[in-house]
Amino acid sequence: MTHRTVLSADDVRRALTRIAHEIVERNHGVEEVVLVGLQRGGVWVADALGDVLRGIDAEHPVPIGSLDVSFHRDDVRLRPIVPGSVTDIPVSLDGTTVVLCDDVLFTGRTVRAALEALNEYGRPRAVQLAVIVDRGHRELPIRPDYVGKNLPTARDEDVRATVEGVTIR
């Protein structure tokens, strides 16, 4: 099995910095922004974006939460439930702008489940989507608002995105 590195750790860091600035620009600041990482791959993305945003605007710390969508998936029967992956939304989402964060955007089914799961925590004014990699092959009408890298892939390839970089195998 061959490994191909597509983004280095530095590339990922730069992408996160750019996305953070785009979030500030698009929302005219971060006062109403809440970052929500999708379990499990998106949790580090939300944390990392939160770090950068704190550097940009230290006066308005952005709340960071996590969302487990396992039980909302349309393919719940096909996936094992991962221990320790839990939902933790620290604030009411009413009137906020939620930025869902994930590592890799693929079919869009996780995001669909997330939109449904999010309903239980209030009514955000808007929901946006930030991903490190958009690898295509969408099965639902879902598109990201912030993208680290658009990456053409074959359907059967495995894409991994972490702080250390993005690899395809």
Partner 1 sequence: MKHLLSVEDLTADDIHRLLELTDHMVEVSSRPIPKVPALRGKNVVSLFFEDSTRTRTSFDTAAKRLSADTMNFAVSSSSVNKGESLRDTIETISAMGVDAFVVRHKSSGAPQMITRWTNACIVNAGDGWHQHPTQALLDCYTIRTNLNRRDGFDGLRIAIVGDIKHSRVARSDVQAFTRLGAHVTLVAPPTLLPPSLDGWPVEVSHDLDSLLADLDVLYLLRVQRERMDDALLPSLEEYSALYGLTPTRAARLAPHALVMHPGPMNRGVEMVVDPSELPGSVILQQVTNGVAVRMAVLFTLLGSGSAASIGESA
Does 120 bind partner 1 (CB under 8 A)? Our answer is yes
Task: Tell me the per-residue interface mask from 49 to 68 with partner 1, x by CB under 8 A, - otherwise.
Answer: -------------------x
Q: What whole-number distance in Å separates Cα of residue 95 and Cα of residue 111?
A: 20
Binding to partner 1, residues 84-103 (CB under 8 A): 84-87
Residues in 17-36 that interact with partner 1 by CB under 8 A:
none
CB of 36 to partner 1, least distance (A): 14
Q: Where are the alpha helices (DSSP H) in the chain?
A: 9-26, 43-56, 109-118
Say how many C-beta atoms besides its own lie within 10 A of residue 41's C-beta: 18
Single residue of 10, 59, 80, 141 touching partner 1 by CB under 8 A: 80
Residue 137 CB burial class (10 angstroms; 0-12, 13-18, ≥19): middle
Rounded to an integer, what distance in angstroms lies between the CA atom of residue 128 and that of residue 49? Answer: 14
Q: Kindly list the residues in this chain that would bind partner 1 in the complex (CB under 8 A).
A: 68, 70-72, 75-81, 83-87, 116-117, 120-121
